Amino acid sequence: MQRIAIISDTHVPSRENAVPEWVVEELQAADRTIHAGDFDSRKAHGRIDALANGSLIAVRGNTDPPTINVPHAATLEADGVTFVVTHGAGSPTGWHRRVAEIARSEVPDSDPVAVGGHIHDVVDTTVEGIRVLNPGSATGAAPADRATMYVATVEDGELTVELRTE
């Protein structure tokens, strides 16, 4: 079994000062960590990478500086489940479909789980056979109304996702 912390849109330091302690604890307890973009700074990226103990899968968000060397899309295989991570930048209109299409283009021969950020809304839905997740903002950065994240467990190809909030 693998435990995967899924976060996004931390926006440190532009909108928030730090990642909340309860999120820090979840990151430290996870086997893998996914961050769907908008760290906002190299320092925030470095902190989350350190908390993830080298298990960070991260993508570039629209507010990330170019000095954060992460791709626009990344894939994680975990015990029979494929995650495709992207930020999903652009208009909030069409975000769900855009994230699902990116996931499908990255892994065309299967039905991956798409993980995106950008809109700061918690999402768990299905678009044309692709499960689409957005953990919201791990710091509660505006326009979010609270800090949120997902904790996923994967075992033998079965995925369970739980929303965590303060």
- Tokens representing residue 58 in the block: 């991260």
Going by pLDDT thresholds of 50, 70 and 90, the confidence category of residue 54 is: confident
Q: Give the helix/strand (H/E) hosting 125.
A: strand 122-127
| HSE (side-chain half, CA atoms, 13 Å) at 109 | 0
Q: What domains are there in the chain, each with its CATH number?
A: 2-165 (3.60.21.10)
Alpha-carbon gap, residue 30 to 42, rounded angstroms: 22
Percent pLDDT > 70 in the chain is 100
Using CB atoms within 10 Å of the CB of residue 97, give its burial: 0 to 12 exposed, 13 to 18 middle, 19+ buried.
middle
Going by pLDDT thresholds of 50, 70 and 90, the confidence category of residue 18 is: very high
25-36 pLDDT per residue, tens: 999 999 999 999
List, in sequence order, every residue forming a beta bridge with 73; answer none if it has no partner. Answer: 86
CB 163 within 8 A of CB 122: yes
Res 109: pLDDT: 86
Res 145: pLDDT: 94
Res 166: pLDDT: 81
